[in-house]
Every structure is written in structure tokens, then in C-alpha cells.
Chain A
């Protein structure tokens, strides 16, 4: 063993300033290294997902809808153009959930590696922030790829279309931060998936004005759209990609909704992570 001569000791080598300023980045780095092991899988999903959806529903179903809608189109545009922003936001949300829920369940329940992280100077707040930042990277990548596929399909009609990238990202991470907080509370995750996938994700996807305008749904179902980040992001996305009619008040409302959700999600994930680790 060769340690005896070169030991300097933690008092010499540990850099407390660096841990305070960059701790969450180190946690994010660990997550990103893990993600890179699935790089081709993640990339394949990011590309195949928009291609398949836009082709089958946007182009395929769209052909029928466009024919019956005539020159007026759906909301004034081809069905593909109408649908694409909603699918963009959906992909962002799905990616964010993958990268927030699974790492959180691993960290607390399956492998308990959060306990290992927390035995170092890294705090619960930094772990929560690091997981969030890594999910943000994944969502940004997914959304950019999706956006270019939309471009290739001719689904972007406005010069402001690129702004749909940040709004979709925001919807994704806002939702992801909330699911991260919820996952942090779970002791028995099996029930969560069943309930969440079937009774929350599915209705949100179907009733958020994804496939037709929210206003064409019965009034007693429209509240689903209002509480759904997907609908708020879709409205913004439609405005930005093809000029869907949107008042300034509504645009601000959508932004405020998503930002509030994001702030709450980050606040509660940090708090829940810290409290759970201190037990």
C-alpha cells in the first residue's frame, strides 16, 4: 500500500467553496454520465417519436381532417401544423418525467444512492437541483430534435416558431419538477405508476386540446385543460408556430401558469428531498 506517504487529509484537500457553488452541477454530472450510457436509445426515441406521430396522425389522420375542413383548415391551418405544437410539448413532458421520476425512485428507494451522495457535503437541496438540471438537459435535447423534425414536415409557419422551443421546454420541466417532488414522497412506487399513467397522464394527453381545440370539448371537461401544463404550452406553441389567435392576457396567463408550476415543483422537490434525507 502506498497511501502512507502521500496522505494530505481532508482538511487540506476538500474544497468547501467549490462544493457550495457547484454541488448541484456534480449531481447533474453523475446523472448525465448515466444518461450517456443510454445515448443511442435516448436519441432513437427523440427522433422516432416525432417522426412516427407526425406521420401517422399529423399526415395520415390529417389528410381526412383537412379534406372535411376544407379551405378554412383547423384553426386556419393544416391539421399537421395544428397538432404538432401539442405533440412537441407532450414529448418534453414525457422526457422530463423519465429523467425526474426514475432517478428519484432509484435514489431513495431502489439503490439508495441519494443516501450515499448525502453522506458527502452535498445537501438534499443540491441533489434535487442536480436531478432537475440533468432532466433539463435531456428535455432541451429532445425538444430541439422534435422541432427540427417539425421543420422538416413543414409544420412551422411563423418566423417566431423557434420560440416554441423554450415554451415546450418550460412545460416539460415544470411538469417534471412536480413529478420529481411527488416521487420524492413515494415509499411504494408501484401504485404511483398505475395511478399516474392511467388516471393523470392519459386524460391530460387526451383532453388538453391536443387533437382538437379545447373549446370544442363540452364545457364540463374544459377544466382539465386549464389545470394541464400541456394545454398552456400547446396554446403558446400554436401561437408561436403558426399565429394561432391569442390575446396578450392569455399569453401572459399561460406563461405565469407554467412558471408558477416550475417554481412550486423546484421548491417542493428541494424541500422534500432535504426532509426525507434528514430522517
Chain B
């Protein structure tokens, strides 16, 4: 097996007293799709900016493409495509000028960029907007342009920070499809997200982050297996009675989580558990049996929900 493209050991970033990233370790292999999952403020974006060889770490070791970003920032960035959380397009320029100038920042020739821009406009479905000022684009269009811009240099590693925030469901699925194709071409993806479905769809392997620390690591399926049961039963008795009922339900299943609006019961067989609840004479207002997801993993690890 070839050595990892990215290796982090004890990676730490402090802003004065605040510890944004707290001694994390991880590796990213070539061609892998690696995810950082966690709520807002978990330290994902900070980690991304350190990997992006722009923000400097406070301590720890980090190697990207065999180089230390502190010493070889521009050399590393030459092979990264960065899609930041906040679109930082050049608002003075038109759509195609943004792609052109960005390509120039990678030393790409005019000739190469001429065809590349056409390809990227098609990718982002912005052909009709090529001469429009960026300011006039909708949020979703700006997002697509930012993603297209990140691809202009055909990067070895594509880094996407919350790529689909602000996109409608259809656009999200189109983007996921495009990212799959890039992965098939051997591009390594590093993705942060607070959407569990996105993490499950896109990531071969991920780390769950909270408060600057890595709580768990593995493939989505492995994490669910390790930290949750096969199925989850969600029931509601109405917000008044949920907590009172939760006490009666404890002991009927492996684990129970009380949320403000519902109770989650973790079990290998959700339907059987629901039967048992009915036979005990309890009648929830609504019930739903579903597969465990990364949301449940996160809840287990931190005691909090991912999106709130």
C-alpha cells in the first residue's frame, strides 16, 4: 500500500486560549473519500484550513503529499482544490473571469483554460451566465461556481467544506454524482459536513469531531455497527409525557435517548420492540422504525444531536 497523502499526528490549533483543534490524529489514503463529521464549531473548518496549507497549526505534525505545509505551503496548494464554506469569489469579475483568473493563479496557460472553462461552465450549469457578474448570481449558482473553480487545476486532493449547504435537494444529488465521478478518476476527497446523509453517501471513511477532538473513526457502516444498534424506534407521547414515559421504557431495550420532541429506542429489532410496548399497555401517539444512522452515532458519542 502506498503511503498516505495526508498524515496528521497530535494536530492542534489554538486561537489565544481557545483550543479549536485538540491533538487529533488521522491519515487520508490516495483516492479515498475522507470525511469530517460534526456540528458547527467542532473544529472541522479549522482543520480544513490547516490541511489547506493556509492556516498554521499551533503544534503537532502534519504531512501533505509528503511535505510539511509550514515550509511548503505554495507547493502543496498547487495540488489542492479548495471549496471553502463561505464562497469567496471575486465579486468584481464575471463568472468566466473568475474561472480564468483562478486558473492563472495555478500558472495554467490561456490555451488550456479556454477549453477548461467551457468544461467547468457545463459542469456547474452556468453556460448562460458566463458573462454575468458574480454579484447577480443566486446562492446556489455561486456555490456551484465555487466548486467549479476548485476543479480548475485538476487537483490531486479536492477539499470541500460543507459543500452542499445552501443547495436545493436536486442540486445536492447532482453534486454528489459529480464527486463520485471525480473519485473514480482517482481524486482524493476531503469533505466536512454536518449532514449525516451526505457523510453516508460520500465518505469511505470518516472521523466524528466534537469540540476539537476526534470522537470516533471508521467507515459509516462500521461506525453505526460499533456505536449503535441495527434499528431505531422513534416514538412520541407528546412533549408533556415523553420524559415520564421514558422511565417506564428503560429496560425494554439496549439504550434510550430522550429528545425534547421524541424518544429514541435502540434495538436490533424495532418492530418487535414496538409490539412489546403495546403489550405493556403503552400507546404512543406516533411511532417509526428506521435504520440506525450516523446521527445516532453522534448522539451516542456526544449526547447531542448533530443539527440543532
Chain A residues at the B interface, C-beta cutoff of 8 Å: 1-4, 7-20, 22-23, 26-27, 29-30, 33-34, 37, 106, 111-123, 277-279
Contacts and interface: CB of A to CB of B under 8 A. Distances in A.
Interface stretch (B74-82, B228-236, B240-248, B271-279): B74-82
B304 interface: no
18 contacts: A3-B119, A10-B155, A13-B112, A13-B153, A15-B107, A16-B78, A18-B107, A20-B74, A30-B92, A30-B101, A112-B88, A113-B88, A113-B91, A120-B102, A120-B106, A279-B15, A279-B55, A279-B56
A119 to B, nearest CB: 4
A151 B207 CA distance: 70
Contacts of A117: 105
B82 to A, nearest CB: 4
Contacts of A8: 154
B301 interface: no
B89 A123 contact: no
The 5 closest A-B pairs by CB, nearest first: A34-B92, A15-B107, A18-B107, A120-B105, A119-B82
A118 B54 contact: yes
Contact of B107 (A7, A16, A116, A118): A16
Contacts of A20: 74
Interface stretch (B178-186, B191-199, B251-259, B284-292): B178-186
Given A10-B78, A26-B105, A118-B54, A34 B185 contact: no
Nearest to A123: B74
A226 B199 CA distance: 63
Contact of A121 (B74, B101, B186): B74
Contacts of A121: 74-75, 77-78, 105-107
Task: Determine the interface band of chain B, counting residues with CB < 8 A from chain A.
Answer: 35 or more
A235 to B, nearest CB: 37
B52 A113 contact: no
Nearest to B54: A118
Contacts of B25: none
Contact of A9 (B73, B74, B112, B154): B154
A10 B123 contact: no
Given A1-B178, A30-B93, A7 B101 contact: no
Interface string B76-116: 01111010101011111100010001101111110010000
A2 B119 contact: yes
Contacts of B55: 278-279
Contact of A33 (B77, B101, B109, B149): B101
Contacts of A277: 54
A14 B107 CA distance: 6
Give the one of A8, A23, A120, A278 with max B CB within 10 A: A120
B101 A19 contact: no
Contacts of A19: 74, 78, 105-107
